[in-house]
Amino acid sequence: MNTDEALRVIFHSHGSPSVLEYQSSTVNPLCPGEVRIRNQAIGVNFIDTYFRSGLYPPPALPSGLGTEGAGTVIECAEDVTHFRVGDRVAYVQSSLGAYATQLCVDQTRLVHLPDDVSFTTAAGGLLKGLTTICLFNKVSQPKSGDTVLFHAAAGGVGLLACQYAKRKGIRLIGVVSTEAKAQLARSAGAWATILADEDIAHQARQLTGAQGAKFVYDSVGRSTWQASLDSTAPCGHLISFGNSSGPVENVALAQLARAGSLTVSRPILFDYISDSAVLRSLAEEFFQCLREGMKVRVGTTFALSEAERAHALLESRNTTGSIVLIP
């Protein structure tokens, strides 16, 4: 491969992980404000499966995939002021195409990666860590002593949420599918765990003196929506932030009244970090959490050429922590 070429993952049509193709392509010239990055590690996030499947439409087909990575700056457009060739950087919100050996990212979407944070940790944890920080501080504000319910607590976002909640004195009840995942969530800081095939709402009420959890964080979506409604305390806040089992549809507002005057949010991280100053300050908060002992568990790494396997594994429900692709 010559220097004018990059290797990347693309898809021409929506479907199962087998639509992902690994191929060489010509490198785009830089646009104003852009920085070219040689990726050292690439984050795999459940949202990538939504773009691949068509649940979230990409701007066009064929499309690249992925929005998160970490690497080294190899070229800057003339007007770039914040970054220089050789800088270590990370990003969570590139245009679709992070599954590539190199790509161009607008400087407003980049953060400097401190020397004490590895590329793999950044790619495995930055998007999920920022999501956790936003969920607990911006979307909702549980306080020390509050009890919250968190689905998929042994997943990429989930294990960071367990640790973050513990640091804040929040009692996090993690919902997970296996006893092994339950142990992992508890060792990361979950106060209690519920197995997903149990009666989640019944268990949640037993653990909260019949009240229910003040805050419920549900990224599983369709299959857990009703259980989440039933697990939320009166006047509580249900945060629906993902679709791992499919999207939640046809919600009648009266349901929220019947469930106890609930508030529901449907946040997307990217809306909370569209200002680059906010992005950088939240990233710094996350890096500080790492320095203070928070761990990003990278459960599996794959070569970039194995993105198909990475997606199949993520959707199989058999992962813990994060998946990272190495170019």
Residue ranges binding ligand NAP (CB under 6 A): 45-47, 128, 131, 152, 154-158, 176-177, 181, 196, 219-220, 241-245, 267-269, 314-315, 317, 319
- Contact 113/286 with Cβ under 8 angstroms? no
Residue type, 185: A
Nearest distance from residue 68's CB to ligand NAP, in Å? Answer: 10
Our CB check for ligand NAP shows the closer of 269 and 283 to be 269
Our CB check for ligand NAP shows the closer of 182 and 233 to be 182
CA–CA separation, 258 and 192 (whole Å): 27
Our CB check for ligand NAP shows the closer of 35 and 154 to be 154
The β-bridge partners of 205 are none
Our CB check for ligand NAP shows the closer of 113 and 152 to be 152
- The CB-nearest residue to ligand NAP is 155
CA–CA separation, 269 and 262 (whole Å): 22
Our CB check for ligand NAP shows the closer of 73 and 134 to be 134
The β-bridge partners of 36 are 75, 104
Nearest distance from residue 197's CB to ligand NAP, in Å? Answer: 9
Nearest distance from residue 30's CB to ligand NAP, in Å? Answer: 28
Nearest distance from residue 126's CB to ligand NAP, in Å? Answer: 11
DSSP alpha helix (H) spans, the chain: 46-53, 119-134, 156-168, 179-188, 200-207, 225-231, 253-258, 269-272, 276-291, 307-316
CA–CA separation, 121 and 102 (whole Å): 18
* Per-state percent for the chain, helix, strand, coil, to nearest 5: 35, 30, 35
**Three-state DSSP state, 252:** coil
Our CB check for ligand NAP shows the closer of 39 and 240 to be 240
Our CB check for ligand NAP shows the closer of 5 and 315 to be 315
Neighbours of 267 (CB within 10 A): 16
Nearest distance from residue 151's CB to ligand NAP, in Å? Answer: 7
Residue type, 325: L
Nearest distance from residue 152's CB to ligand NAP, in Å? Answer: 4
CA–CA separation, 13 and 102 (whole Å): 23
Nearest distance from residue 75's CB to ligand NAP, in Å? Answer: 30
Our CB check for ligand NAP shows the closer of 44 and 213 to be 44
Nearest distance from residue 73's CB to ligand NAP, in Å? Answer: 25
**Angle (deg, nearest 10), helices 119-134 and 156-168:** 60
Burial of 169 (0-12, 13-18, 19+ CB in 10 A): exposed
